[in-house]
């Protein structure tokens, strides 16, 4: 599993765009470990990166969507997404272009380099991870997002709660934020 994650992160580094981890792997950098089969990566991509994505992931080792799909998803900006899969391990990177999303650009200025699987990796700040997990909880109702949030809040006393409160309000997930903070 780690081999697949390392291969994917090496390829993402090779693209040459600013990027960071979020999702469950990002949450684990600030909280407790849990199982996952993928990494979520936010990338500052432009059309010029399409060929670089294909070059960074050899087809014998990775599944990469067709060039036309990559170009389309990058044009969709923050609404876009695509997955790259390490074939030998089945480990997957879910990739999200930043587009013009205000929150994504806020975090690009606040990336931390933290150890992930023995390598220093750009990781989104905890306030972003919580904000996104609130959005995903509101969409899916999956308790794993609230568990991740509660773990971060409990283990990270220096968390800037006011920043999370601001983003929760902006994205209409204040009720989920209140729920995550009150349940133990």
Sign of the torsion formed by the C-alpha atoms of 127, 112, 136 and 156:
negative
pLDDT tens by residue, 138-176: 889 899 899 999 999 999 989 999 999 999 999 899 999
> How far is 147 from 158, CA to CA, in rounded Å?
19
Total domains in the chain come to 2
* Claim to verify: residue 3 and residue 38 sit in the same structural domain: yes
Rounded to the nearest 10°, the torsion over CA 38, 43, 49, 55 is -30
Buried b / exposed e over 103-130, threshold 16 CB at 10 Å, is: bbebbbeebbeeebeeeebbbbbbbbbb
Do the domain assignments include residue 106? no
pLDDT tens by residue, 76-130: 998 999 999 999 999 999 999 998 888 787 888 889 999 988 889 999 999 999 9
* Claim to verify: residue 26 and residue 117 sit in the same structural domain: yes
The domain containing residue 87 runs over which residues? Answer: 1-100+111-124
pLDDT of residue 27: 92
Task: Please give the model's pTM, rounded to 2 decimal places.
Answer: 0.88
- Which domain-ending residue is among 90, 124, 158? 124
The model's confidence at residue 182, banded by pLDDT at 50, 70 and 90, is confident
pLDDT of residue 1: 60
* Claim to verify: residue 129 and residue 118 sit in the same structural domain: no
């Amino acid at each position: 599993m780690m081999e697949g994650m390392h291969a994917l992160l090496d390829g993402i580094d090779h693209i040459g765009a600013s990027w960071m981890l979020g999702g469950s792997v990002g949450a684990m950098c600030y909280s407790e470990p849990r199982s996952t089969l993928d990494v979520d990566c936010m990338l500052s991509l432009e059309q010029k990166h399409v060929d670089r994505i294909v070059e960074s992931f050899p087809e014998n080792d990775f599944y990469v969507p067709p060039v036309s799909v990559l170009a389309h998803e990058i044009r969709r900006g923050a609404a876009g997404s695509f997955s790259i899969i390490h074939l030998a391990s089945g480990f997957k990177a879910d990739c999200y272009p930043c587009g013009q999303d205000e929150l994504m650009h806020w975090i690009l200025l606040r990336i931390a380099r933290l150890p992930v699987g023995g390598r220093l990796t750009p990781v989104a700040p905890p306030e972003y991870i919580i904000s996104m997990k609130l959005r995903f909880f509101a969409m899916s109702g999956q308790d794993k997002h609230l568990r991740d949030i509660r773990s971060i809040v409990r283990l990270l006393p220096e968390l800037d709660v006011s920043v999370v409160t601001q983003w929760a309000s902006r994205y209409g997930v204040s009720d989920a934020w209140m729920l995550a903070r009150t349940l133990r």
